Structures are given as structure tokens and as C-alpha cells.
């Protein structure tokens, strides 16, 4: 007897297989012998890999990728925002570049409060007054000038070509743009770029950005001054004045990239190199690892209630400290040594028992702060021994959705990352204090955690993620997945993750991330189970120095690409 199986059943079985593979991972990373670039955009990854194949180093490729993402990944890639870059050089030097946005000179602490003293979140998230002074262009060119080996015109030209000639919209990019169609229609400058003559874009449409191409050409020809002292800054300020913004030419003239000492830690014999304040990522990551190092985990304990209990109790303390102690170190004395010390980590570990401690019993402050999840990260490693981990953002998806007329790039809305008022949440839910209050020229606190893990002082992992307040926990778990649980890079990135940030006192988790047994055990310990959500989009590289093999993985939650050569 012949048995027939309908195509519908076959499709269902196929989808079940795919979903099961995601749950248990089991995939393989991309392999290469000479270098690796991993980004959220396949086009940008290919550009970075081509720069490496032409003899460029990891810094050259990272700068090329940064400009390319401004064209091909507009939801978060930018020249109108800012971020952080962690660099390891072949000679053993570790350093970081802080090109975070700054508050304009006319900014003041209570600028987003109404006449009654109430926080008005729409003011810090929408319109020209929501934007900080952009730092990306300054940061990328500073990195290239100091640590690169190629000329700006060489690394920026691929981005110019993509903006001028256009690229074919994928289903995902078209959908991401169309999701904010109503917002783009509010501004003529944005409507001109992010709609197809007033209609939504379709998969397969050619996406051309002539104004952005012209802006990139000015940057190519005149460098930092072209953006911060001449035509671009002048047009930017003129548009700001026309739209009741507060930018001045001096805001741009005064902007500087700051080279900072990285946050250095260790975990089970590996060296952790991460970002210093005003990013909270490095301190929080090292602090968490210092606590967790006091506990041993077997490979089979991944996903267990014991592991998640210890992880959550650690994160509660870390995020409580974050809320009170962290801000721009040029304006506030951040106790870096204390927070990242092994002794403090051990002291926290000794306070953790078999039962959950409610967050309201963990002292810090009762202030609320929330950070956008629409950021992007990219990782680069070259054959010479250099590695770059970069995370940058315009904060919300497409920033505040305003294209600067005639310049073709989006405004950030990073002013929302300051603590506008004690006790008042901004758009995503973390907690902040006076350490992160608004002041002119100050840099707003971030959770971005671009990180390089070294083994015997050589690059072992290059890792980072978008995800706002969840970035720290996602980078932490991915590092543990490799070091503690022996996963390959693909599995370490693909398996489900959880998140806890002290307040609200709940565990968020990904679909299939907590079994019913684990939920029950965690509840019995006193934990509160929160909601299901997607957590981060890691872009990672793992390097096997002995075999001279680079492994790359772009998070399957997204639609990026790992490209090696």
C-alpha cells in the first residue's frame, strides 16, 4: 500500500525540525584562515572582508564596516549617532575609543520636565531636542588615523558606492523601514528617503540615498573637519535652528573622541577586555564574572535552575550597583577599582543563598532608566593579531526618525539615555541616578558591551550585541557558554538566553528558554518569571590560535552574516 504525505504535513515537519534546531542549536560557525568580519548586514560584512583581503588590518575593516552600515542597516547603523570601540593590537596593546554622543551646550538638567516638574518622555525621544551631538564620524576617522593602515578614501568608498548606486532591499530591511512608515511620513526629509514616493518599499526595490552619498563624499574629501567644522555642521545647525533645536556650531567644533583605558578583568584564566564608562558594559560584565567565578559549573548544567538562580542573583546586584554608581567619568567619580575587584565579587558571592533575594531588599536607589534596544554591533579580526569590537547606535529604531534635510542621515535620540528625572522611566526600563543627569557636553550612560576575550594575551573571542539594557547579560551568557559549557561559537550564540536587570524584579526569557521544571524550581526559590522576548543579536568571532582558524557567527535571531577570507 502506498502512503501519501501531504505537502502541508511535510512543511509542518520541516518547520518543527528548524525550530528544534534553534532550541538545541547544533549549528556550525563560518570558518576561515586569514580573518573574519561579522556584522548585522551581509553587504557590510563582505565589504569588511574585502578590506582585509586587500591587506588592510582589523581597524581598517572596522571603519569601512562602520560607514557601510550607515548605508545598508539604517535601523541602527549611522553617522548621526555614536558608540564605542574596543581594540586589541598585535603588539599586545589594549585600548578603547569613546565616541558616544554628547549633550549640546544648551542642554540642562530639567530640560525634559514640564511646567509642573513632570517628566515628558516624548520630548527626550522625539524631535530635534532629543538628539545628542553625533560622534560616529569622529570616532571612526580617529581610529583609522591612529591605528589603521589605509587611507580614508579607500575604506569609505564602498559605502559611497552603495549609497549612490543603491542596493536591492531584502525582505527584512524593507519590513524594518515600512514598520515606521507613519513616522517617516511626518517629516518631508524622511519621507523623501524612507518611502518610495510616498508608498511603502517592497522586497527587491532599489534603495538609493543620494544625499547620504554626497555627505560621505564630503567626509572622504575633508575628513573630520568636513563633518564637524564645515559644510555638514553648518547645514546641520541651520536645520536645527529651523526646527527649534538647540545645536550650535560650537557643539560640533568642541566634539572629541576620547581614548580610554579599557576595563580589564579575568575569568577562569581568560583576560576580559571591555568598554569603560560612560558605557556600563565593561564594569558590569567584569563584576558579574567575578561573582560567578566563585561557583563551579559542569557542562551539563547549562539551562539548569541552579545556574539560572546564581546568574539572576548575580545580575540583581550588578544592575543595582549600575544604577547608583555609573555615569560619564569626566563628570562623576565612578568607583571602577572597587566594582571590578575580585574581593567585591567574592563578597557578593558569599551573600547569595539558595533562595532569591527580592530586588527591593537589594540597596541602591529607586530611580528608573531605560535604554533602547536598537543598536548594532560588529566584530573584526585579522591575520596579523589585531581585533576590533564595536557597538554603535542612534538609540531607538531609526533614531528619532528625522533625516537631516540635504544630508541624508538620521538623527539620534540619545538624550533619552540620560536620567531625566529621578524615578521617571524613559523608553525601555533601566534605573539611573544623579551620576547620569543631563549636563552640557556630558556623555549619556550606555549598556553597550563591546568585548574582546584574550587567551595567553592573544585574541580568543570578539563579541558584542545590541539590546539596550539586555546587552550585558547576553554578552555574559555567551562568554560563559563557551568557557563554562564548552559550546562552539554558533551554539553559544544561538541557544536561548534569559535576562534580569534588578528592576523590574522578573526574569525575561526567550521562547523555549526555560522548561516547566526550571520555571517551577525557580519559582520555589522565590524568583518571579516574567515574559518571553527576543534577547540580543550577537555578532561574534572565536579564534583557534593553534590551528590558525577563525570562526564567525552572526546571530540567527537576525539577518546578518559572518564573512571570512
Catalytic residues: 375
Distance CA 490, CA 25 (A): 7
List Cα–Cα distances, 143 to 58, 148, 395, 425, 469, in angstroms: 11, 7, 22, 34, 26
Distance CA 186, CA 201 (A): 17
- All residues at 6 or more sequence positions from 493 whose CB lies less than 8 Å from its CB, including other chains: 478, 481, 538, 540, 553, 555, 556
Distance CA 343, CA 428 (A): 32
Alpha-carbon 517 to chain mean position:
33
* Residue 391 φ then ψ, to 5°: -125, 130
Distance CA 561, CA 115 (A): 49
List Cα–Cα distances, 323 to 43, 113, 437, in angstroms: 38, 21, 12
Q: What angle do CA 443, 448, 449 make, to 5 degrees?
A: 130
Cis peptide before 504 (omega within 30 of 0): yes
Contact 470, 536 (CB under 8 A): yes
- Helix H or strand E encompassing 555: none
List the grid coordinates of 51: 578590506
Contact 271, 313 (CB under 8 A): no
Contact 400, 127 (CB under 8 A): yes
The string of DSSP letters for 371-412 reads --S-EEEEEEEETTS-EEEEEEE-SSTTTTSPBPTTT--BPP
Beta-bridge partner residues of 378:
390
Closest CA to 326 of 276, 375, 289, 291: 276
Cis peptide before 278 (omega within 30 of 0): yes
Helix or strand or coil: residue 95?
A: strand
Beta-bridge partner residues of 35:
382
Amino acid at each position: 500500500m502506498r502512503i501519501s504525505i501531504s505537502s502541508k504535513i511535510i512543511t509542518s515537519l520541516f518547520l518543527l525540525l528548524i525550530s528544534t534546531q534553534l532550541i538545541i542549536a547544533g549549528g556550525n560557525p563560518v570558518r576561515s584562515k586569514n580573518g573574519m568580519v561579522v556584522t548585522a548586514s551581509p553587504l557590510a560584512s563582505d565589504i569588511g572582508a574585502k578590506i582585509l583581503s586587500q591587506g588592510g588590518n582589523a581597524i581598517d575593516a572596522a571603519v569601512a564596516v562602520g560607514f557601510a552600515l550607515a548605508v545598508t542597516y539604517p535601523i541602527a547603523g549611522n553617522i548621526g549617532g555614536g558608540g564605542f570601540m574596543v581594540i586589541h593590537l598585535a603588539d599586545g596593546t589594549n585600548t578603547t575609543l569613546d565616541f558616544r554622543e554628547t549633550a549640546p551646550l544648551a542642554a540642562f538638567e530639567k530640560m525634559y520636565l514640564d511646567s509642573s516638574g513632570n517628566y515628558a518622555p516624548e520630548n527626550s525621544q522625539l524631535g530635534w531636542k532629543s538628539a545628542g551631538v553625533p560622534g560616529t564620524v569622529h570616532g571612526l576617522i580617529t581610529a583609522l588615523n591612529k591605528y589603521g593602515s589605509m587611507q580614508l578614501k579607500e575604506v569609505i568608498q564602498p559605502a559611497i558606492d552603495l549609497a549612490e548606486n543603491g542596493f536591492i532591499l531584502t525582505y527584512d530591511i524593507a519590513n524594518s523601514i515600512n514598520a515606521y512608515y507613519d513616522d517617516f511620513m511626518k517629516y518631508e526629509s524622511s519621507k523623501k528617503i524612507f518611502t518610495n514616493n510616498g508608498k511603502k518599499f517592497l522586497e527587491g526595490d532599489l534603495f538609493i540615498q543620494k544625499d547620504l552619498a554626497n555627505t560621505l563624499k564630503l567626509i572622504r574629501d575633508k575628513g573630520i573637519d568636513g563633518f564637524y567644522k564645515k559644510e555638514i555642521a553648518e547645514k546641520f545647525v541651520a536645520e536645527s535652528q529651523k526646527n527649534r533645536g538647540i545645536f550650535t556650531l560650537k557643539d560640533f567644533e568642541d566634539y572629541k573622541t576620547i581614548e580610554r583605558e579599557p576595563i580589564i578583568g579575568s575569568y577562569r584564566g581568560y583576560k576580559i577586555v571591555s568598554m569603560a564608562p560612560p558605557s556600563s558594559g565593561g564594569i558590569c560584565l567584569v563584576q558579574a564574572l567575578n561573582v560567578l567565578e566563585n561557583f563551579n559549573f559542569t557542562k551539563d548544567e547549562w539551562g539548569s535552575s541552579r545556574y539560572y538562580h546564581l546568574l539572576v542573583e548575580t545580575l540583581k546586584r550588578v544592575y543595582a550597583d549600575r544604577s547608583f554608581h555609573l555615569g560619564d567619568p569626566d563628570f562623576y567619580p565612578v568607583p571602577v577599582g572597587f566594582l571590578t575587584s575580585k574581593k567585591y565579587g567574592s563578597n557578593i558571592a558569599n551573600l547569595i543563598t539558595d533562595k532569591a533575594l527580592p530586588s527591593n531588599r537589594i540597596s541602591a536607589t529607586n530611580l528608573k532608566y531605560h535604554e533602547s534596544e536598537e543598536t548594532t554591533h560588529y566584530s573584526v579580526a585579522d591575520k596579523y593579531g589585531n581585533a576590533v569590537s564595536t557597538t554603535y547606535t542612534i538609540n531607538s529604531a531609526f533614531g528619532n526618525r528625522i533625516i537631516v534635510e540635504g544630508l541624508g542621515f538620521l538623527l539620534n535620540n540619545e538624550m533619552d539615555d540620560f536620567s531625566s528625572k529621578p524615578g521617571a522611566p524613559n523608553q525601555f526600563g533601566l534605573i539611573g541616578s544623579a551620576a547620569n543627569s543631563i549636563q552640557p557636553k556630558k556623555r549619556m550612560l550606555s549598556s553597550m558591551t563591546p568585548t574582546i576575550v584574550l587567551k595567553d594575551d592573544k585574541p580568543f573571542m570578539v563579541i558584542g550585541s545590541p539590546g539596550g539594557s539586555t546587552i550585558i547579560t547576553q554578552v555574559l551568557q555567551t562568554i560563559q557558554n563557551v568557557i563554562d559549557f564548552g559550546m562552539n561559537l554558533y551554539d553559544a550564540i544561538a541557544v536561548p538566553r534569559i535576562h534580569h536587570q534588578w528592576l523590574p524584579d522578573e526574569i525575561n526569557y526567550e521562547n523555549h528558554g526555560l522548561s516547566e521544571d526550571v520555571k517551577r524550581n525557580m519559582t520555589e526559590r522565590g524568583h518571579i518569571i516574567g515574559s518571553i522576548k527576543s534577547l540580543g543579536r550577537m555578532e561574534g568571532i572565536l579564534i583557534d590560535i593553534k590551528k590558525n582558524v577563525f570562526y564567525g557567527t552572526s546571530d540567527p535571531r537576525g539577518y546578518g552574516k559572518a564573512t571570512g577570507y
